[in-house]
Structures are given as C-alpha cells and as structure tokens.
Amino acid sequence: MPGSRLSHSGVASVSHAEMNDADPLALSSDALVRLLGEALHVGVSAAPPETPEWWQDPAFPYVPVSFVGRGGSGFVWKASRRDGRGYVGLKLVPFRSDPVRLRQRWEDECAALEKIQHRNLVALADHGPSPDGLSGWLAMEWIEGDCLGRKLQKEGRLSFKDVMAIVPQAIAGLSALHKAGLIHRDIKPSNLLLETESGRLVIADLGIAVDLGGDPDQRVTRTSEHALTPGYFPPELLQSASRPTALGDQYSLAFTLWQLLTGTMPLGAFAKLHHLCKCPDTLDAVFRKALANDPSNRFPDLEAFGQALHQAELGLPRPFLYLGIMMPLLVGGIAFLVTRPEPFPKHFQSGRISSPDSQRHFSSIEMTLEKTGQIRARIRTTSLHPLFGFAGKCRIAFRDSKGATIRQITTPSYGVNGRFIFGSPHDRVDKWEKAIPPEDAARVHSVHFSSTTTGWTIEERARDNRRAFENDLKKIRNGASKGM
C-alpha cells in the first residue's frame, strides 16, 4: 500500500515522504483496512521462533516454558527461574537487522523499566546481552492472565463495566510514567495485561518509550521514523516537527478504550459511542475531546481525562459534566492557596503486597509518617498455603512529588506458618516503628511498597515447618508428662 510498509518487528512504519499534510484519518476504507490489518494482530498471535542455544546454558538463570507472543520490539516467553522461585516473562530483542539502533532501543527499554516502579507497570527483574552481542534479553514479572488484545479477539468487545474498571488503573500507571519523564507511545490492547486473580491491570512493552529528559537527537526512534502501531498513535506524530508528549498517550489510551468498548476503531467520521455500545451518552463528548486531532484540544492531562470519564460514567447531563470537572479543581485550588494546611501526619496504605515466591503469601501495611520523621506501622503477614509458610519482609520506598526515590527502608522479617501447620499463626499483626530524617519526611509525596524475596527453597520451607511441628509435639508431650 502506498504510504506504509512493515518494519522488522511486524509493525507498519509510516514515512513523511509518503504522507501528505492532509488529515491523516481522511483515508479510504480500503486504505484503512490495509494500514491497520497488521496492527490488529501485533503482539496477539505470532509463530514461535526458535529459542537461543545459550538459554540452555545452566549459567543462564531462566528456562523457557512456553512462547507467549511477539511485541513491537521482540519476542516473549513464559520462563521459570532455575532456582525454583516462580516465573518471569522473558523477552528476547534481536539486533541483527539494525544492530546499533535496536541495541540502543533495548537499552532504552531497560532504562525506562529501571527508572520507575508502579503496580500498574510491568516490573523488571533482570536483563543482559547475549554472549555474541547480537541480541538482548529482559526478565520481567510474570502476569498470570491475558492481554486485552487477545481478550478482544475472543469476545469481540468488552462490557462497559469491565472497561470502566480498568480505566483508573491505566491512568494511574501512565500518570506515574509521565511524572517520571517518560512517554509510552505504544498503548494498545495487546500491551495491556490483566491479572486473572486480582484484576490488576499492568502496562507492558516500553520498547519505544521516550525519556523527555534525554537528548532529542539521541532518541532511537525519531519523529520521522515511526516504529508505532498504525491507528493507535496520535495524528500529530505524522508531522515532522512534532515531538512525543503525554497528550499522545492520552490519545492512544482513548483510542484503545473505544475499541475495547465497541470492537471498532474511532477512525474518520466515526459514530457516537452510545450508538455502538451500552453506555451513558455523556461519554461521547469525553472521548471525542481525548481523540481530538489537535493536541491542544485534548484534556490537559490524564487525571483530567479520568475525572471526566468518571463524571460521564455517572450519566450527568452534559453542562453539569464540565461544571463537575472544573468546580472541584477551582475550590480545591483556592482552599490550598488560602489555608495551606499542615500536611502531617501523612497516612499511607499498601493494599495487598504479594510475595515474589507465591501469590498465597502476602503482607499489608498501614503506616503513619510524622513531621519529625517518626514512622509507625501496623504490618499484617498472611499465608494462605496449606503447608508452607514464609518470612515476610517489605521494602518501603519514599518518593517525592516527581516520583524520585528519597529513601528506602526494609521492615523486619515476620514469619508465619502454613494454614494447617501448628506453631506461629498463619495470619499475624505486628507493630513496627522506625524513623527517617525530618528533612526527608518533608519531601515525601508518595510511598511504594514491595515484598522482598525470602530466598527459601521449597525443601528449606518444608524442613523449617517440620522443625516447628516437632517442637510443638515436644511441648505437648512435656505438658502431658508433668500433668501425670
């Protein structure tokens, strides 16, 4: 098709020499079908490639279990850790077709994942180059679930309730990325993973993310060389002078949510949303604003987009929709400028923090931070496993308003047994106190909680549980003999 070609990764590339300055969405239906045909399947279905021979080396820490699919920048397998501590998503990024550029893109993805941790962004466990230097690999947290692209293929569309349930999580993950100075640039259904057990949404594939703090001339994928998925990327990137911005991610997210709701893409003169799916008619104006061709006509940020979606979800009449968006912002701004209330004490809650060893082992923390830096925490440690317990430690990262880590501390280890093992309870609550410098406490804006790995093998856990069981039997026997 004139104006597009497939890149090495299977994603259609578009050059400015082949696109005119007219509205990029004003294409014929046949042209759009050809342009988007490949995009609908990228990352959802792909023939499994051969695994590299060097992955069979016992020194390599992961063993591939099954092929997952192809993303915009590489191939992904489910892999087990050789030390038996669960699974990872193992991504291979070949460099052969363009060694300098693709290696830099891989390094950029690793740097982006290392720069920020958030429950709605896939976490990086490890990475490294191949022995021959012709590819790179990343080990990321394994999400037991499915991508929304595959779910869309199976079901045709998602329910309004299911889509609106993931909106706050998608906005939270992308907002955290933006606050860290990063732009994702490839939001689409196949890059949104849904964890089956918890319903957690995780944003994946930062292979073409842009660090706004970096040198524009050193970026691997420049504006004139799109390695982007057609349809999902914002129209302004077809202009040679355009630079990626957070407003582009807003467009891509709105495009993706529309597709999840309707099973169609909002291209050209698209119909009203409530004519395509069961939803309040007030949602249509919100989506059209986020999908505006001119970035200046979109919402100022993702938080405003999310607020508008929430108000529209309630089905408020359209005039009250905008009033409902502006009034809280106006009142809140005036109250802050006039009163500037003392921010302390600050209260934080972790929610459920699953152990890297097992989803059945988890902790939760309720924490108060005083102006003096004094920390008071209530830590609950739970094992739902029938036999194996664990020693639960939590890492607490204090972050400033820009998302940068100020200080990290680790809680003591609180051990619990399996549900059917005598000894320490399988569900315990402990109080813990700590302090950080007052100057650090004054800068704290948010707190990130994560569970640290115990490093125990299954054999070590079983041995420890047997010891606890034998000790309990001795106590029972000693008590019985004294009673006689």
Task: Give the model confidence (pLDDT) of 158-169 as tens digits.
Answer: 999 999 999 999
* 38 and 159 together in one domain: yes
Query: 427 or 17: which carries more pLDDT confidence?
Result: 427
Task: Supply the mean pLDDT for the chain.
Answer: 78
DSSP-based helix, strand, coil % in the chain, nearest 5: 35, 25, 40
Within-domain flag for 423: yes
Q: What is the DSSP string of 62-93?
A: EEEEEEEEEETTEEEEEEEETTSS-EEEEEEE
Query: What pLDDT is recorded for position 253?
Result: 95
* 112 and 191 together in one domain: no
Last residue in a domain, options 104, 123, 141: 141
* 188 and 286 together in one domain: yes
* 157 and 240 together in one domain: yes
Residue 331 has pLDDT above 50, yes or no: yes
Which CATH number goes with the domain that contains 187?
1.10.510.10
Is there a contact between 199 and 67 (Cβ–Cβ < 8 Å)?
A: no
**Mapping DSSP to helix (H, G, I), strand (E, B) and coil, where does residue 160 land?**
helix
* 310 and 251 together in one domain: yes
| Total count of domains within the chain | 3
Query: What pLDDT is recorded for position 40?
Result: 37
Within-domain flag for 20: yes
Least confident of 30-34, 94-98, 146-150, 258-262: 30-34
* 243 and 323 together in one domain: yes
Which CATH number goes with the domain that contains 441?
2.60.210
Query: What pLDDT is recorded for position 471?
Result: 80
Within-domain flag for 476: no
Average pLDDT over residues 456-484: 69
Average pLDDT over residues 423-446: 88
Distant-in-sequence contacts of 412-417, Cβ < 8 A, 24+ apart: 413/454, 414/363, 414/379, 414/381, 415/381, 415/389, 415/390, 415/391, 416/381, 416/382, 416/383, 416/389, 416/390, 416/392, 417/383, 417/389, 417/465, 417/468
Q: What confidence tier does 72 reach under pLDDT thresholds 50, 70, 90?
A: low
Residue 425 has pLDDT above 80, yes or no: no
Which CATH number goes with the domain that contains 105?
3.30.200.20
Query: What pLDDT is recorded for position 290?
Result: 93
230 preceded by cis ω (within 30°)?
no
* 453 and 317 together in one domain: no
Sequence-separated (6 or more) residues with CB below 8 Å from residue 475: none
Last residue in a domain, options 314, 335, 356: 335
**Mapping DSSP to helix (H, G, I), strand (E, B) and coil, where does residue 210 land?**
strand
Residue 430 has pLDDT above 60, yes or no: yes
Is there a contact between 277 and 157 (Cβ–Cβ < 8 Å)?
A: yes
Residue 319 has pLDDT above 80, yes or no: no
Query: What pLDDT is recorded for position 329?
Result: 75
Task: Give the model confidence (pLDDT) of 202-257 as tens digits.
Answer: 998 775 555 544 444 444 343 334 455 667 878 887 776 667 888 999 999 999 99
* 112 and 169 together in one domain: no
Last residue in a domain, options 304, 335, 366: 335
The residue count of the chain comes to 484
Within-domain flag for 424: yes
CA–CA separation, 176 and 353 (whole Å)? 19
CA–CA separation, 379 and 373 (whole Å)? 18
Q: Which candidate, 308, 430, 416, 292, places its Cα nearest to that of 366?
A: 430
Within-domain flag for 440: yes
* 167 and 301 together in one domain: yes
Question: Domain range holding 197?
Answer: 5-44+147-335
Q: Which candidate, 103, 97, 79, 99, places its Cα nearest to that of 89?
A: 79
**Residue 326, Cβ neighbours under 10 Å: how many?**
12
* 163 and 14 together in one domain: yes
Within-domain flag for 480: no
Residue 320 has pLDDT above 80, yes or no: no
Least confident of 186-190, 341-345, 349-353, 467-471: 341-345
Residue 20 has pLDDT above 50, yes or no: no
Query: 267 or 380: which carries more pLDDT confidence?
Result: 380
Within-domain flag for 483: no
* 373 and 440 together in one domain: yes
Average pLDDT over residues 7-36: 38
Q: What confidence tier does 350 reach under pLDDT thresholds 50, 70, 90?
A: confident
* 450 and 383 together in one domain: yes
Within-domain flag for 287: yes
Query: What pLDDT is recorded for position 1?
Result: 38
